[in-house]
Amino acid sequence: MNDVLRLENISKTYGKDGTAAVPVLKDLNLRVGAGEVVALVAPSGAGKSTLLHIAGLLDTPDSGRVLLKGRDLTGLSDKLRTAARREELGFVYQFHHLLPEFTAEENIVLPQLANGVSEKISKERARDLLGRVGLTHRADHRPAQLSGGEQQRVAFCRALANGPALLLADEPTGNLDPGTSDRVFDVLVSLVRETGLAALIATHNLQLAERMDRIIRLGEGARAEM
């Protein structure tokens, strides 16, 4: 299987220069194949956010390589990393981070316009994505007029707006009550599968993790299995 994301021998220690060094990741290896939906399960403090930041090109490891679709991005300039992030990656967080003054549709259109897509195509894509998550009737609503689950579904659409190769999600339904979380999580996994992209989804919820293709556990000693 072609790897969309590959982390090779990643190590990261915080505070190396001071006395209180915190080793977080040590020789970590991880891969996510094309079309694969992978769960990342980690106890609090094991380095889940650190790993997602490194995979998302928001932070750099002390050593090791980050490959996206086979391309080594480890030594790239900030400018090229930003471009790679915009073109190849989609992010979903625990909180939706939608722009409050814009409608659901506009929140999905704006990142496409910023990427040079025409207004017509951007709107068509936004409508298509909103349809896939069952929110066609909420296209013209602002975030404050939407429920928590609806806000998260719009955030999923926005993450996929520019057709990324890889979706990185950090507790994407962690802010919702358990019933809503279950349903909204299923929407996310269906959306990822329909669009055929690869996804690495961090969750504390083992039941949700078990619905994915594979589980990577980040545990004591911060080592993960390939």
Ligand X SMILES: Nc1ncnc2c1ncn2[C@@H]1O[C@H](COP(=O)(O)OP(=O)(O)OP(=O)(O)O)[C@@H](O)[C@H]1O
Question: Minimum Å distance from CB 81 to ligand X?
Answer: 19
Residue found by looking up tokens 């504390």 in the block: 204
Q: With respect to ligand X, which residue has the nearer C-beta, 91 or 123?
A: 91
Alpha-carbon Rg of the chain, whole angstroms? 18
Q: With respect to ligand X, which residue has the nearer C-beta, 15 or 131?
A: 15
Question: Minimum Å distance from CB 113 to ligand X?
Answer: 32
What is the DSSP pairing of strand 63-68 with strand 3-14?
A: antiparallel
Residues 155, 189: Cα–Cα separation, whole Å: 14
Question: Minimum Å distance from CB 24 to ligand X?
Answer: 4
H/E run at residue 150:
helix 148-160
Question: Minimum Å distance from CB 29 to ligand X?
Answer: 17
Q: With respect to ligand X, which residue has the nearer C-beta, 47 or 164?
A: 47
Residue found by looking up tokens 């390589």 in the block: 65
Going by C-alpha positions, the residue among 38, 40, 41, 48 that lies closest to residue 212 is: 38
Footprint of ligand X on this chain (CB under 6 A)?
14-15, 22, 24, 42, 44-50
Q: With respect to ligand X, which residue has the nearer C-beta, 42 or 198?
A: 42
H/E run at residue 91:
strand 89-92
